[in-house]
Structure 1
């Protein structure tokens, strides 16, 4: 059976809190409970494994990580952690094999860099891994890390000489010399092999191993896959923006591709050269190598991306665009490709195309940082609106926008700026005219963005006077920027100046109406009603706008909300009149029956509260006609008929309701309703007779006798001796307690 999801989330959060405080016993208990709730959940196992590892319960951690790997074999994390545990336990050979297994998972995911890391860890733990040294040598060779590749080939030479395979050792050294024919260590090793001299690992190490730089020509290494926020994002982001991050993704993807491809292919050799040249910052040489790879019929998105970026650096605009266009559908490269294309079209004097590609780059980056699919969908809507505004703007406005966005996507903190600016864009698009950039883009600048952030910070800290001062200061330079007016309304609310806030919202809504933007006026009035749901003037203004727009379903909803507001304000006359208007509209637009019934019930409540019983009766009869099985309406009618001294109609209505219950096989409800009605109207003989019959049918003889006894008393008090005799005979037929008493009573009444 599926587990309890809320409980699972609760204990997982408890585990995270305990882990944060390094209270590992508590974390283990919480994560263990999560595993019990969902035994097949990999995340819970991974968290439990980490807590056990930190608590130094290594054997237990190993078992948990092993299970986590079984649940998610494509996830390298459990394997990697179990290898770490094995290493701590001193089981080096097993740990080495596990690191090799981890490398295979990363390799299947085209993450050659992490595969290399795990191969290296395996070789450090145990000797005799010739096949891993060989794979490392090939991986380094194909990713342009020449010295590391040579060192691995020389290490292979040592291992094969130790295994009495001098011939293979010699081949390994010769492979190293093909990489660098003048490498001193390789030449000395080859000479030693020819002379039959033993090799030593110490003589194979190069004192000046080429440490591959993490950054070349301003490009930073791309961050690990996954989401990061705040300072971590800023620290990891490439200062060259999406383009810089995509360069590292492309280099890694191309390296992984060539690693899996036969090195005898000419195109692969050229691609390897291109990677090496690009890492060294030799732009022209890298372009030549990549073009030779393409001429040799090699095709890969990362190859075209790298070539496009290098052509962009050389200002070969058209060639750069041609190659980058081929990579816009590749997820790891798409944002960078759009960023690069925007720079190209900006340089070519095509601001509209540049704007389109810039917005797409922003969209891809922002959605990638979204916390959930729902957030991603909302972001897509925002950028769809922004894209739609590009066609409406003139070229000067687009140039201003491009300049702003290109600045936005540059520098180490560009990801943080994207988030902040997008929030302002979202607000501006929501509050301004989304079909035109004319009213939006002048305000998308650091001055406005930081000012809005400052207002928000003041509000969060309860400094409402400072927030209001800042807002008014900003209005001097941006008097028609509606997000500012919106914030002033929010500040007034925080200061409990409800009427002032409503006036401000009304002002914003009227501004939209003057502009002819009824959609935005509607949205503002709806937001204002969330703040002041009892303000009937806001409801009326909104209804007027919606009627003009002929949005009848929304008009109906607002009629109901307005009537509810009147009712809560004790203005029952206005409430009922508004409900009546809602009914008339509902009948005209063919509203579903259940909505009409819902409104009629509210009207019935008002009629009863006003003691207008006959009008209430007509209202509930109307409901019964629409829905014969409406229990609430029939119960109300039973009560109304009694109150109007019409017990015959009341019993008739009750019998119809009991038939509904019988049709629905709700025997308990029949008894419950009859008991309630008898309690409410104890002198009604028809009610007691029906309740007694139901008790007898359900085998509750004592209760049936009790009701018949009371019925007989009522009949005698009313002078209905014949009816009383019939009732007493019914009691005797059930063989009740005190049978003799009932028999004597029957004789007395009959005599």
Structure 2
């Protein structure tokens, strides 16, 4: 049966109008009707895919976009939508494959910026996948961007290290350093992989300070016999006539024999000679510390902390010196810094920012507490850990636990885990509980969680696990209450990342809870995450509107805009807040306020078609017809090549203002221009009758004249009516 072009065009037009009005169910129906006539039409498939996505019918939308990607194999847009949808559906493996395919297509089209963006998305979704990192490294190298290329090789080195492929890890770290010699992370990793700069794992049982001291002595002893040592060359900058080798050999011998005073004097002479190697500085700092010269030790340790191979030990020793001086806050800062450095060596780049934020939050919370007991407890915890056998391996074990907890949405740092009583036992209980939960054995899973809480009652991930078990057993309200309690607890502790996470968990289960969402906004503002806070302002406002509380919604939109103005934030979210505020004012019949909002929005974003649409409606509602016509002319000019959009705009405006001649007459002209004369006449006839009923004769006369121009079947009747209106018959 041949396709019906008229039916196809009619369906496509109705679908477009419905999509414009966000009536997605109608749009879906009409797009499918259009495809019944022409099954391979890409514009209909594209519209249907969008409508299905907006209706949250993601599987069907995905199928449409896949069809489009196959039909338009050289167009990256459908494939990009496939990747985004797969990511939204949490199908990470498929999403990664789609992003890789998308990147290849962009690369073929020489759109390298977009190819890089797609590869980066792939690395975010699967941080341990090597291919996108390799592609990024090659692309950055070819473009001459050595720093970004080096960071990709560093990421590959860490992946190889985690996989136990140490030769490959070493090779990648060396390539990173070849591109960016000052990359401290690459140097630190290479030191760890090759043993240069002390293999901490090989000397279990020693503290990081002792390990670093041994390493420094060993490196200095080796350098005495090395002709290539900087101070043995003419360009060393050392003082002429000073035998640095002799001083160094004597200093090492004195230090190893416990002659601290003599060793200090010799090391000071070496520094005075112009030698500034971190090994010398670190050894002298520890000697100062052992002889209670903490100010002198602190000055040197602040310098050696910048050397990757001494960073952990230096911060730990700084914590010891500040603690000896009873400067608790300073001591805690450096203990936390030491732990953060260890923590960062176990994560990939995509996780690093989150880990840094967690430690900043923890530092804030300890400064609030600031008591000596807490400092002593944390110092003891860190000492026990860093003095324990195989502590670097334990770092990785703990990180696996943290990654598991993070998959549930709870941010966690290593320090929090180490503070927990019987850490290994608690981790094992929660790991087994998680396995039982996934197997559907909820009672047994809960029992293990309660055991872990008995050991560590303040360990929040255990309580979060109880919420997950409650949710799995169908006790949703109990899970919501648990997450809300956890959020409030974290907020009191000033652990803002956790507070944000727990509030989001609760809101995912009860999205209409405006009170909790307002609390989330407060925490987001406190944490400095203003873009996310503004998104939540929009969500709260829409929730209030849905509940019929329009004035409260307008107040919330205003609050968000005031925050954005104070912070100087300019974003799409701010624009959405302005649109929502203007629309709320219209619902409240506060047209003057709405007009001001949309005028400001139009000045800020002249291409904002929705703002211009609302301005047309507002000008007409407030009697500013000429201004409304000017805005309408401007908007319709934009759609000169898209008649379906012209019709959608005019139809929507006519529905909003059915008795406004300016709009209805324009719509009639549009119908007439498309050959739909009968429809145009009927539209004008209905308008004319309404105007006469409202005693608006002058406007009715203009409408009747429009009808006569169209030559309706009973044109003489309209002419007689026109004469009667112009020259009324006397009674």
TM-score (ref. length: structure 1): 0.50
Q: Does 1:624 align with 2:598?
A: no
Contact 2:315/2:338 (8 A) holds in 1: yes
Describe the shift of the 1:405–1:560 C-alpha distance in structure 2 as closer, same or farther (beyond 3 A).
Answer: same
- The corresponding residue for 1:501 is 479
**Partner of residue 381, structure 2:** 404
The answer to whether structure 1 residue 339 and structure 2 residue 450 are counterparts is no
Aligned match of 2:453 in 475, 487, 492? 475
Aligned partner of 1:388 in structure 2 is 367
Give the corresponding residue for 1:328. Answer: 302
Q: Decide whether the 8 Å contact of 2:207 with 2:386 is kept in 1.
A: yes
Deviations 1:384-418 (A, max 9, x none): 3265257x313x55433322221111134323545
2-side partners of 1:516 and 1:334: how far apart? 29
Summarize the Cα distance change of 1:34–1:709 in structure 2 as closer, same or farther, 3 Å threshold.
farther
Matched, 1:485 2:485: no
Q: What whole-Å deviation, never above 9, does each CA across 1:184-222 have from its counterpart, x for those lacking one?
A: xxxxxxxxxxxxxxxxxxxxxxxxxxxxxxxxxxxxxx9
For the aligned residue pairs, the C-alpha RMSD in angstroms reads 6.6
Match of 1:218 in 2: none
Q: Which residue of 2 aligns with 1:185?
A: none
SS in 1 for 2:301: coil
Structure 2 residue aligned with 1:530: 507
In the alignment, the residues of structure 2 paired with residue 261 and residue 236 of structure 1 have an alpha-carbon distance, to the nearest angstrom, of 30
Q: Which residue of 1 aligns with 2:229?
A: 259
Q: 8 Å contact 2:650–2:666 — kept in the other structure?
A: no
The answer to whether structure 1 residue 458 and structure 2 residue 433 are counterparts is yes
Q: Offset at 1:654? A: 6.2
Query: In 1, Cα distance between the equivalents of 2:380 and 2:151?
Result: 46
Spell out the pairing of 1:714-725 with structure 2 (5 A cutoff).
723=705
Q: CA deviation at 1:653?
A: 8.1
In structure 2, the CA distance between the partners of 1:481 and 1:578, relative to structure 1 (3 Å rule), is same
Q: Distance in 1 between matches of 2:356 and 2:469?
A: 30
Task: Tell me the distance in 1 between the aligned counterparts of 2:266 and 2:432.
Answer: 56
Q: Distance in 2 between matches of 1:449 and 1:300?
A: 42
1:560-587 Cα distance to aligned partner (Å, 9 max, x none): 544544666xxx43x4364255368679
Cα distance change on mapping 1:487 and 1:633 into 2, 3 Å: same
Paired residue for 1:133?
none
The answer to whether the 8 Å contact 1:270/1:292 transfers is: no
Aligned ranges 1:165-176 → 2 under 5 Å? none
Kept in 1, the 8 Å contact 2:343–2:395? The answer is: yes
Q: Distance in 2 between matches of 1:375 and 1:679?
A: 46
Q: What corresponds to 2:276 in structure 1?
A: 300
Quote the Cα distance in structure 1 between the aligned partners of 2:182 and 2:535: 52
* 1:532-586 Cα shifts (integer Å, max 9, x gaps): 233537538849999xx9x9x9999877544544666xxx43x436425536867
Distance change >3 Å, CA 75–CA 497, structure 1 → 2: closer
Q: Aligned runs of 1:212-361 on 2, under 5 Å?
A: 224-225=190-191, 235=201, 239-247=205-213, 250-251=216-217, 254=220, 255=223, 259-262=229-232, 265-274=241-250, 277=253, 282-284=256-258, 288=262, 291-292=265-266, 294-295=268-269, 297-298=272-273, 299-305=275-281, 307-308=283-284, 311=287, 316-318=290-292, 322-323=296-297, 325-330=299-304, 331-332=306-307, 333-342=310-319, 357-361=334-338
Q: Distance in 2 between matches of 1:18 and 1:473?
A: 37
User: In 2, distance between residues paired with 1:542 and 1:275?
Assistant: 61
Q: CA deviation at 1:451?
A: 0.7
Instruction: Please state whether the residue corresponding to 1:505 is helix, strand or coil.
Output: helix
1:506 Cα offset (Å): 4.1
**TM-score scaled to structure 2, two decimals?**
0.51
Which residue in the other structure is 1:598 paired with? Answer: 579
Rounded Cα–Cα distance in structure 2 between residues aligned with 1:227 and 1:466: 42
Give the match for residue 116 of structure 2: 5
Per mean C-alpha deviation after superposition, the further-off stretch among 592-601 and 344-353 is 344-353
In structure 2, which of residues 348, 353, 356 is the aligned counterpart of residue 374 of structure 1? 353
2-side partners of 1:519 and 1:109: how far apart? 34
Structure 2 CA distance for aligned equivalents of residues 485 and 76 of structure 1: 44
Is 515-524 or 288-297 further displaced after alignment?
515-524
Instruction: Identify the match of residue 556 of structure 2 among 582, 591, 594.
Output: 582
CA contact (8 A) 2:481 2:506 kept: no
CA distance in structure 2 between the partners assigned to 1:15 and 1:443 by the alignment: 28
From the superposition, tell whether residues 660 and 688 of structure 1 become closer, same or farther in structure 2 (CA, over 3 Å). Answer: same
Give 1:459 shift.
1.7
Deviation at 1:502, TM superposition (A): 1.8
Task: Return closer, same or farther for 1:491/1:260 CA change in 2, 3 Å cut-off.
Answer: same
**Unaligned regions of 5+ residues in structure 2, if any?**
1-109, 157-170, 234-239, 567-573, 603-607, 690-700, 712-731
Q: 1:723 to 1:252 in 2, by over 3 A?
A: farther
The question of 1:447 aligning with 2:422 is answered: yes
SS of the equivalent of 1:250 reads: helix
Q: Distance in 1 between matches of 2:249 and 2:624?
A: 96
Highest RCO, 1 vs 2 (Cα 8 Å, sep ≥ 6): 2
User: What SS is found at the alignment partner of 1:618?
Assistant: coil
Question: Structure 1, unaligned stretches of length 5 or more?
Answer: 20-26, 52-71, 80-101, 115-221, 435-439, 605-614, 696-702, 730-751
- How far residue 620 of structure 1 moved from its aligned partner, in angstroms, is 6.3
> Which of 39, 55, 69 is the matching residue for 2:142?
39
**Corresponding residue of 2:85:** none
> Does the CA contact (< 8 Å) of 1:689 and 1:707 recur in 2?
no
Please show how residues 9-88 of structure 1 align to structure 2 within 5 Å.
Answer: 35=138, 39-40=142-143, 77=175
Deviations 1:397-447 (A, max 9, x none): 5433322221111134323545777999999xx999x9xxxxx99981451
Larger Rg: 1
Return closer, same or farther for 1:453/1:714 CA change in 2, 3 Å cut-off: closer
